[in-house]
């Protein structure tokens, strides 16, 4: 995505020993398993996984006079998951010692407590043991407290109209620390005159008895006695389906290359997959449907810190014929399907890259070469047609053809028309995807169409696509000032965004990156080209984020709406169905403006109904 901001592409050739190319399957399948250290052992201070220091914040904040007036010296109260509490400011209007929440069975819920202090606290720990309702319990293993960590962010462009464009000179941007990452450490030191939020995730068992479950959040440190907050969770008699069964179509692009760089492990080694497994499992637990696969070198011209390489090796033999090695593609897809459980669609990017430069290994010169060609030129077809034919045969042999789409993003209509001709000539049954503007000329050819937020797909087209089992979604990127999931975006926008897609009648939501990490993602979410946080919402560790948790909140609400709609239609409960649709309409652009409410307010109103 972001074709209008790409940098120039280098077409220099490079020498690659032919023996490496011919031995790729042996290398991928055996050597890494024997020689690679585990990803934990490979770490150094450059890329921390556990303990690290947050960056300093030079922004104005509450002075010592204000801090020294708080009494007692250490404060602990329940806060809101819709607020990013400032590290150096005293939280306002927090006086709640007991929290009451409603939940469905099988739901992943979140809450946030806030600790602030005017004295140093060492070895602060937090625990929330099993929650009880008579003899029934929510076990401790289902309760996950996290210290919220602060990361550097920036802002929208100066005109406030988008978050796109060159940001190489970070001094030009308004940078500050914001709460976002949910840490995985057990203890932390909290400095005097600072605030430290505490985020708690609770997974409600699917088979639990409904009722009210009670417990206490316990905070300890070397300098303080035990401090507690009370919590009650009313589990209602409704069951949320498992994420793998959710109706909402979620497509967050994965970047395996970023994981290899950050964890400092060889690509596609056992250590690489060990590092990726918990990250991708987080995606599966959010209802992810799509596997992101790259079938050429730099499909987006290296728009991320870690560019995508081709998962398919294209080899031009000495006699001019072609052969293809699918070792990397196969091992990646197998991993995502078998280990992770994401198996609805394999999106293969792309046959129309930004720079229209196409890689292959040339046996005659023993070099990686590049072809510069355009979709309407014969050389474009000469390059892609034999590959797409061979790829079709390979996919059919693996049993993946029906789940594979040749995918493109933000390409011009004329280029798409020519590319579709080549794809259909190779195999007329290929599925084709586009993330970009709606074009009536090619819409029927697109199995999966995702349009930008704020654009519209005609209702008759949307309905026909639904009847034909074609997928229609919405996406956001750096372009949208609202709604978005930048590190400076209000948390509720993440939930609002996916509910917006449902409210507008689309099948789901796409976002271009979930883990395309910048150089130092735990401390600095800023990137040279996009607004801070645009490239990722899961941190190394892996660590979740306030943004990812709020996205999860919205996704679960979408599934609740789907289940309740079916229930109300079946039972003939017209009154409740009308009320549900009325609340959902506030997540459309027109309905939201008309409501004159904030994203937090419409979310709270919807949740109140869904959990009633």
Q: What is the DSSP string of 294-333?
A: E-SS-TTSS-SSSPPPPSSEEEE-TTS-EEEE-HHHHHHH
Could you tell me the pTM of the whole model?
0.92
16: pLDDT strictly greater than 50: no
Would you place residue 504 in the very low, low, confident or very high pLDDT band (cuts 50, 70, 90)?
Answer: very high
pLDDT, position 165: 93
Would you place residue 20 in the very low, low, confident or very high pLDDT band (cuts 50, 70, 90)?
Answer: very low
Neighbours of 476 (CB within 10 A): 22
In a shared domain, residues 263 and 234: no
Q: 561 lies in a domain?
A: no
Q: What is the CATH number of the domain that holds 101?
A: 2.60.40.10
Residue-wise DSSP of 410-473: S--HHHHHHHHHHHHHH-TT-EEEEES---TTTGGG-SEEEEETT----HHHHHHHHHTT-EEE
**Cα angle: 504, vertex 509, 515; to 5 degrees:** 155
In a shared domain, residues 336 and 459: yes
The DSSP H or E segment spanning 173 is none
Region 360-381 average pLDDT: 97
10: pLDDT strictly greater than 60: no
Q: 388 lies in a domain?
A: yes
Q: 58 lies in a domain?
A: no
Region 120-139 average pLDDT: 97
Would you place residue 2 in the very low, low, confident or very high pLDDT band (cuts 50, 70, 90)?
Answer: very low
The pLDDT tens digits for 513-539 are 999 999 999 999 999 999 999 999 999
pLDDT, position 354: 86
pLDDT, position 304: 94
* Domain end call among 530, 554, 578: 554
pLDDT, position 45: 66
Please state, in angstroms and rounded to a whole number, the distance separating the CA atoms of residues 396 and 394: 5
In a shared domain, residues 433 and 486: yes
In a shared domain, residues 269 and 217: no
Q: 536 lies in a domain?
A: yes
In a shared domain, residues 194 and 325: no
In a shared domain, residues 364 and 293: yes
> What mean pLDDT is reported for the chain?
93
Q: 607 lies in a domain?
A: no
Lookup result for tokens 């400011």: 89
Residue numbers of the domain that contains 183: 64-243
The pLDDT tens digits for 25-60 are 333 333 333 333 333 333 456 899 999 999 999 899
The pLDDT tens digits for 556-588 are 999 999 999 999 999 999 999 999 999 999 999
In a shared domain, residues 253 and 172: no
pLDDT, position 23: 39
pLDDT, position 172: 87
In a shared domain, residues 182 and 267: no
Q: 49 lies in a domain?
A: no
22: pLDDT strictly greater than 70: no
4: pLDDT strictly greater than 70: no
Region 188-207 average pLDDT: 98
The pLDDT tens digits for 92-129 are 999 999 999 999 999 999 999 999 999 999 999 999 98
80: pLDDT strictly greater than 90: yes
pLDDT, position 524: 97
Q: What is the CATH number of the domain that holds 459?
A: 3.20.20
Name residues whose C-beta falls within 8 Å of residue 574's C-beta, 6 or more positions apart in sequence: 568
Phi then psi for residue 172, to 5 deg, are -75, -15
From 511, 481, 513, 512, select the one nearest 498 (Cα to Cα): 511
Measured in residues, the chain has a length of 612
Q: 100 lies in a domain?
A: yes
In a shared domain, residues 438 and 520: yes
In a shared domain, residues 261 and 229: no
DSSP letter (8 states) at residue 596: T
In a shared domain, residues 209 and 283: no
Joined tokens for residue 119: 């004295």
Region 488-504 average pLDDT: 98
| Percent with pLDDT over 70 in the chain | 93
In a shared domain, residues 229 and 283: no
Q: 2 lies in a domain?
A: no
Region 173-186 average pLDDT: 96
How many domains are contained in the chain?
2
């Amino acid at each position: 995505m972001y074709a209008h901001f790409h940098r120039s592409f280098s077409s220099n050739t490079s020498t690659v020993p032919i023996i490496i190319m011919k031995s790729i399957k042996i290398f991928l399948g055996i050597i890494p398993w024997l020689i690679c250290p585990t990803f934990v052992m490979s770490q150094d201070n450059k890329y921390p996984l556990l303990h690290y220091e947050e960056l300093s914040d030079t922004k104005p904040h509450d002075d010592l006079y204000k801090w020294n007036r708080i009494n007692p010296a250490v404060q602990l109260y329940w806060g809101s998951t819709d607020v990013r509490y400032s590290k150096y400011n005293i939280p306002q209007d927090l006086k709640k010692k007991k929290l009451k929440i409603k939940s469905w069975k099988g739901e992943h819920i979140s809450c946030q407590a806030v600790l602030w202090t005017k004295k140093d606290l060492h070895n602060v720990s937090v625990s929330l043991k099993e929650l009880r309702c008579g003899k029934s319990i929510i076990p401790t293993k289902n309760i996950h407290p996290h210290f919220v960590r602060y990361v550097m962010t920036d802002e929208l462009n100066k005109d406030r109209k988008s978050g796109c464009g060159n940001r190489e000179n970070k001094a030009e941007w308004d940078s500050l620390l914001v709460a976002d990452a949910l840490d995985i450490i057990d203890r932390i030191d909290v400095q005097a005159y600072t605030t430290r939020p505490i985020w708690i995730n609770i997974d409600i068992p699917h088979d639990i008895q409904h009722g009210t479950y009670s417990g206490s959040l316990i905070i300890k440190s070397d300098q303080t006695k035990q401090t507690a907050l009370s919590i009650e969770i009313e589990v209602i008699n409704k069951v949320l389906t498992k994420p793998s069964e959710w109706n909402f179509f979620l497509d967050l692009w994965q970047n395996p290359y970023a994981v290899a760089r950050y964890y400092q492990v060889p690509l596609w080694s056992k250590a690489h997959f060990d590092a990726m497994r918990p990250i991708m499992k987080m995606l599966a637990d959010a209802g992810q449907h799509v596997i992101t696969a790259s079938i050429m070198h730099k499909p987006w011209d290296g728009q991320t810190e870690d560019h995508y390489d081709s998962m398919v090796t294209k080899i031009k033999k000495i006699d001019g014929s072609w052969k293809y090695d699918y070792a990397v593609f196969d091992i990646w897809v197998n991993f995502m399907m078998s280990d992770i459980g994401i198996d609805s669609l394999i999106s293969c990017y792309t046959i129309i890259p930004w720079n229209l430069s196409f890689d292959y290994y040339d046996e005659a010169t023993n070099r990686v070469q590049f072809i510069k060609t355009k979709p309407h030129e014969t050389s474009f077809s000469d390059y892609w047609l034999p590959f797409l034919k061979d790829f079709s045969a390979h996919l059919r042999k693996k049993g993946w053809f029906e789940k594979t789409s040749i995918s493109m993003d933000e390409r011009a209509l004329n280029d798409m028309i020519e590319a579709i001709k080549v794809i259909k000539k190779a195999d007329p049954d290929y599925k084709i995807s586009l993330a970009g503007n709606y074009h009536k000329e090619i819409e029927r050819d697109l199995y999966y169409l995702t349009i930008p937020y704020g654009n519209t797909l005609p209702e008759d087209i949307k309905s026909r696509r639904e009847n034909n089992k074609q997928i229609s979604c919405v996406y956001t990127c750096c372009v949208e000032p609202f709604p978005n999931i930048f590190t400076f975006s209000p948390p509720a926008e993440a939930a609002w965004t996916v509910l917006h897609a449902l409210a507008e009648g689309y099948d789901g939501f796409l976002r271009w990156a979930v883990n395309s990490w910048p150089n130092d993602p735990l401390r600095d979410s800023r990137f040279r080209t996009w607004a801070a946080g645009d490239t990722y919402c899961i941190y190394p560790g892996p660590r979740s984020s306030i943004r990812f948790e709020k996205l999860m909140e919205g996704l679960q609400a979408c599934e609740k709406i789907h289940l309740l709609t079916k229930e109300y239609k079946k039972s003939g409960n017209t009154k409740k169905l009308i009320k549900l649709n009325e609340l959902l309409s506030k997540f459309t652009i027109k309905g939201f403006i008309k409501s004159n409410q904030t994203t937090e307010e419409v979310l709270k109103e919807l949740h109140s109904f869904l959990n009633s």
